[in-house]
Amino acid sequence: QVQLVESGGGSVQAGGSLMLACAASGYTFSNDLMGWFRQAPRKEREGVAAFWPGDGRTYYADSVKGRFAIFQDVAKNTLYLNMSSLTVEDSAMYYCAVDPYSPSQYISDMERWTGFRGQGTQVTVSS
C-alpha cells in the first residue's frame, strides 16, 4: 500500500522559508511524475511544482517560480519542496503526489495527474 506522508509545514512570517518533506512507504520514488499541490480555503487546488526524474525536468507554477524548488533524495526516498520568500498568498495545505500512470508530458499539466497523494501539511504565512 502506497503511503505518502508530508512534514515540515508550520507558521512563518512573510519573507521566511520552509522546507517540506514527503516520505514514502510502499513506494520508491523512481521514474514517475512527482510533485506538490496546494489548496487554500475557498480556492481551487493548484499544482505548484513537479519533477520528472527521467531527464531532471521541473515545472513550477508562475506564482512560485523563482521562490520554490523541488528535489528528491533518492537515498532517503523522500521528496522535498524548499520554499523561500513566502507570502501570505502561499498559505495553504500542501500535498505531495506521485503519478506512476501518466506520461512525462503531463509535468506541467498537473490537473490531469492520477496516482497517489498524501494527507497534507499546513503552511501558514503571516504578514
Strand 33-39 with 92-99, pairing: antiparallel
| Radius of gyration (C-alpha) of the chain in whole angstroms | 14
CA distance 46 to 16: 21
pLDDT of residue 25: 92
User: What value does the mean pLDDT take over residues 55-69?
Assistant: 97
CA distance 71 to 52: 10
Question: Mean pLDDT, the chain, as a whole number?
Answer: 96
- Listed in order, strand segments (DSSP E) in 1-127 are 3-7, 10-13, 18-25, 33-39, 46-52, 57-60, 68-73, 78-83, 92-99, 116-117, 121-126
What are the distances in angstroms from CA 126 to CA 8, 14, 21, 43, 88? Answer: 17, 6, 21, 18, 6
> pLDDT at residue 114 above 90?
yes
User: What value does the mean pLDDT take over residues 93-116?
Assistant: 95
User: What value does the mean pLDDT take over residues 64-88?
Assistant: 96
